[in-house]
Amino acid sequence: MAKAFYTVFSFLFLITFSVSIHYVATDRVSATNSLSAVAGLTRMGSLSLSVAYYEPRVQRIEKANNIIYPEMMSIDRMDFVYEN
Partner 1 sequence: MRTSPFFHFLMLGFFKERKKHIGVIAISLVILFLLGSALFISSSIRYSLNQTLAWEPDFVVQRTQGGQKVNAPTAWIDDLLEVHGISKVTPRVYGRYFFKAKENSFLIVGVDFMDEQSNKALRMMMDETDLKQFLKGDNMLVGEGVSTHLKTHFYPNGYTFLTPKGVFKKVNLFKVLPKKSNLISNDMIIVPIELAREILGMGEDEVSDIALNVPNDDEWDNVADKISAFYYDIHVTTKEDIKKAYENLYNYKGGVFLILFLIVIVTFVLILYQRYSMVYSSERRHIGLLRALGWSIRDVLKLKFFETMMIVVIAFVLGVALAYLYVFVLGAPLLREIFLGGANLPNSVILVPVLDFGILSSIFLIYAIPFISAVLIPTWKIAVTDPKEAML
Residue 21 within binding range of partner 1, rule CB under 8 A = no
d(CA 70, CA 84): 17
Residue 64 within binding range of partner 1, rule CB under 8 A = no
d(CA 55, CA 14): 45
Residue 10 within binding range of partner 1, rule CB under 8 A = no
Q: Select the residue interacting with partner 1 from 10, 21, 62, 77 (CB under 8 A).
A: 62
d(CA 7, CA 68): 47
- Shortest gap between Cβ of 5 and partner 1 (angstroms)? 5
Percent helix, strand and coil across the chain, each rounded to 5?
Answer: 50, 0, 50
**Contact residues: partner 1, CB under 8 A:** 1-2, 4-5, 8, 12, 15-16, 19, 22-23, 26, 28, 30-53, 55, 57-58, 60-62, 66-69, 71-72, 74-75
